[in-house]
């Protein structure tokens, strides 16, 4: 399997667009996959510079209903009219970030897009023998505390978002299994544990943001969550590739425990598993 980061908060070249968002191109034996589309058309511009043909993509996945992963969704629809696009059925909800000074800011995706183009998913969706999507992840370690400022408007008011609209991709090819997630709001440990139940073993590799970037040094609860996350991820031999919403402080803390099993991703970087 080959993975190319089309868009991320950072890039490996000044010629590539970057910003708060994520988009990953994946090649397997049977599929060409686009996982997330970043906040705008930057993923497409970078794909052209990197020699990635997005018109050849047969399967696209939107990890959850936030603009930094789905802002480029319409661009992809125009660029590729035939790929199947898998989106959780709850992804088009009213999702907001709650800022102490500015108040609520809409961070969802374009709700005017035609739903006929998309394949809407639920808790588990088997695409074929190679690809599977899953959500419905329990949160026993309390990872949602790192997303406390993110909320959803519903018929009965504003409440904290618990990310039922988040789903994750499992790829199986030969004897390899890879988990790909967007921001892992429900906790990367919890998501990996669910993947292990589905696979019957730990995945060989995980590619995901860990959504710990709001956690800062000197906060005991933050340090506890980061430490517990790192310790839990030491189980097995899984290798982790992370960026986007993990945060520099959390990354360095995780790196101290996980060592060479933890790698940064950046726009324009390719690797094989």
- Neighbouring CB atoms inside 10 A of 270's CB total 13
Query: Phi, psi (5° rounding) for residue 42?
Result: -60, -35
Domains of the chain: 2-272 (3.60.15.10)
Distance CA 267, CA 12 (A): 6
Mean pLDDT, contiguous 10-residue spans, the chain (273 residues) = 98 96 97 98 98 98 98 97 97 93 92 93 95 92 88 92 96 97 97 97 98 89 93 96 96 97 97 96
68-78 residue pLDDT tens: 999 999 999 99
Q: What pLDDT is attached to residue 143?
A: 86
189-232 residue pLDDT tens: 999 999 999 999 999 999 999 999 988 888 898 999 999 999 99
Closest CA to 244 of 56, 6, 60: 6
How much is the pTM?
0.96
> 31: buried, middle or exposed (CB in 10 Å: 19+, 13-18, 0-12)?
middle
Q: What pLDDT is attached to residue 28?
A: 97
Q: Kindly state the tokens that stand for 271.
A: 């690797």
Exposure class string for 229-253: b at 16+ Cβ within 10 A, else e: bbeebeeeebbbbbbbbbbebbbeb
């Amino acid at each position: 399997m080959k993975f190319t980061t089309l868009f991320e908060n950072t890039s490996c070249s000044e010629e590539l667009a970057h910003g708060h968002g994520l988009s990953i191109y994946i090649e397997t034996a049977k599929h060409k996959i686009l996982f997330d589309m970043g906040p705008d058309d930057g993923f497409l511009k970078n794909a052209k510079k990197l020699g990635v043909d997005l018109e050849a993509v047969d399967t696209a996945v939107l990890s959850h209903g936030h603009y930094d992963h789905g802002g480029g969704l319409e661009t992809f629809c125009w660029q590729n009219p035939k790929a199947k696009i898998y989106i959780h059925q709850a992804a088009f909800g009213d999702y907001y970030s709650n800022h102490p000074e500015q108040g609520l800011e809409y961070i969802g995706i374009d709700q005017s897009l035609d739903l006929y183009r998309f394949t809407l998913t639920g808790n588990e969706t088997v695409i074929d023998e190679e690809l599977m999507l899953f959500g419905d992840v329990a949160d026993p370690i309390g990872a949602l505390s790192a997303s406390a400022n993110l909320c959803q408007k519903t018929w009965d008011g504003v409440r904290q978002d618990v990310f039922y609209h988040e789903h994750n991709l499992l790829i199986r090819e030969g004897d390899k299994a890879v988990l790909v997630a967007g921001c892992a709001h429900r906790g990367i440990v919890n998501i990996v544990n669910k993947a292990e139940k589905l696979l019957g073993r730990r995945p060989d590799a995980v590619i995901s943001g860990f959504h710990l970037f709001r956690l800062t040094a000197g906060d005991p609860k933050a340090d506890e969550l980061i430490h517990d996350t790192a310790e839990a991820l030491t189980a097995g031999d899984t290798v982790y590739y992370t960026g986007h919403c993990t945060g520099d402080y959390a990354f360095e803390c995780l790196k101290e425990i996980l060592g060479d099993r933890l790698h940064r991703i950046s726009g324009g970087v390719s690797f094989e598993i």
